């Protein structure tokens, strides 16, 4: 496993553009809240650490990961965001439901990136076990929410250039 020995959430703040002028939307799935709240906290903390104003971070909750695409689309339509982060967690179960939700969510977010001028960052954990999700939402492998926030800042710069 590529991340088994690394915490990928460490960033060099000096290399990240200042986020003060940007507005961010964060759409958070309510499913697996222990995981999604950890990811949200990581994303919010990184945005604030890199200069984003708390008043420029807009959170929208949706029931599950499948609904993330719609939530992101609504924030984009409102027109007050420079980048959106989609936060979710899908954990493998005994049926193919996992495959359908993961595929639809990834494709929906990809479609938004192709069809709109607002970058949407994919921060959806697709793990085999709850422990893997815990490890990636503030555990031993860091916090993918932090990584998503850094990507959102960088993409907001590109989108506004």
Catalytic (active-site) positions: 97
Q: What pLDDT shows up at residue 4?
A: 57
In angstroms, the CA 125 to CA 132 distance is 9
Low-confidence ranges of the chain (pLDDT < 50): 1
Q: What pLDDT shows up at residue 96?
A: 84
Q: What pLDDT shows up at residue 1?
A: 40
Identify whether 12 is part of a domain: no
Identify whether 94 is part of a domain: yes
Query: What are phi and psi for residue 29, nearest 5 degrees?
Result: -75, 135
CATH code (residue 44): 3.40.50.960
Identify whether 14 is part of a domain: no
Query: What are phi and psi for residue 3, nearest 5 degrees?
Result: -100, 10
Identify whether 13 is part of a domain: no
Q: Tell me the residue range of the domain where 120 lies.
A: 21-159
Identify whether 151 is part of a domain: yes
Q: What pLDDT shows up at residue 9?
A: 82
Identify whether 3 is part of a domain: no
How many domains does one find in the chain?
1
Q: How far is residue 158 CA from its own chain's centroid? A: 18
Identify whether 150 is part of a domain: yes
Identify whether 99 is part of a domain: yes
């Amino acid at each position: 496993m590529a991340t088994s020995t690394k915490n990928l959430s460490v960033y060099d703040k000096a290399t990240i553009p200042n986020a003060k002028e940007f507005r961010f939307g964060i759409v958070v799935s309510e499913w697996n809240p222990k995981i999604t709240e950890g990811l949200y906290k990581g994303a919010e903390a990184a945005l604030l650490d890199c200069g984003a104003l708390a008043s420029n971070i807009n959170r929208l909750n949706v029931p599950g990961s499948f609904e993330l695409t719609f939530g992101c689309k609504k924030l984009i339509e409102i027109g007050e965001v420079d980048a959106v982060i989609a936060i979710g967690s899908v954990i493998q179960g005994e049926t193919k439901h996992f495959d359908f939700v993961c595929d639809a969510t990834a494709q929906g977010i990809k479609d938004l990136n192709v069809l709109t001028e607002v970058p949407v960052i994919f921060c959806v954990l697709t793990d085999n076990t709850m422990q893997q999700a815990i490890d990636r939402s503030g555990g031993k492998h860091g916090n993918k929410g932090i990584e998503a926030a850094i990507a959102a800042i960088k993409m907001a710069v590109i989108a506004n250039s």
